[in-house]
Structure 1
């Protein structure tokens, strides 16, 4: 039998896994089944992506905003990297679209 602390840790990991799975399946289902128009689908993907990051930070990396200053700067750096990756990816996709469409 597991100790209460281990059970609580396992419960947190399982909850994080289920939330991450749902936040992955919702955008895939929206795109696959075309439930929404283009803009709402893109907004759903973006919102689920941000929530996915928060779930991973909370349940898997155990980061909370109420903790030490170092953790805050780690979160700021993480958000900066995510912004650079998302912004760079959008820039590349926009440029490829322009090149392929011949504008």
Structure 2
């Protein structure tokens, strides 16, 4: 009986963690949408709000859904995540750089 109760309490912690992460991600999606749709603030504040909510939402996803909250335990997961982010950065900004140079060389006459 004690094992069942301990398992149930642990399961409730995990479910609460996922539900909290889900509601935070929904909230961090709705806030920039409402602020931008209704035009409450200036263009600079819109951009700042969207970037801030996006970065905070990435952090919430890393902690609540990918379980990267313990650095010592998940050291290799963090290293592989950083490697993937570097590769994505190289591919995205390399593609933008190539397209910019192609556009620049085509327009010269």
Is TM-score (shorter-chain normalized) higher than 0.5? yes
- Alignment partner, residue 103 of structure 2: none
- Mark the structure with the bigger radius of gyration: 2
- Alignment partner, residue 46 of structure 1: 51
Query: Which of 66, 69, 79 is matched with 1:73 structurally?
Result: 79
The runs of 5 or more residues in structure 1 that have no matched partner are: 96-103
Equivalent residue runs for 1:75-94 within 5 Å: 75-80=81-86, 83=89, 91=96
- Alignment partner, residue 17 of structure 1: 22
SS in 2 for 1:64: coil
Q: TM-score, normalised by structure 2?
A: 0.69
- Alignment partner, residue 28 of structure 1: 33
Q: Deviations over 1:26-55 (max 9, x none)?
A: 000111111110011001000100011111
Residues 63, 49 of structure 1: CA spacing in aligned structure 2 closer, same or farther, 3 A cutoff?
Answer: same
The runs of 5 or more residues in structure 2 that have no matched partner are: 101-109
Question: How many residues in Structure 1 have an aligned counterpart in Structure 2?
Answer: 93
Residues 65 and 72, structure 1, Cα contact 8 Å, conserved in 2: no
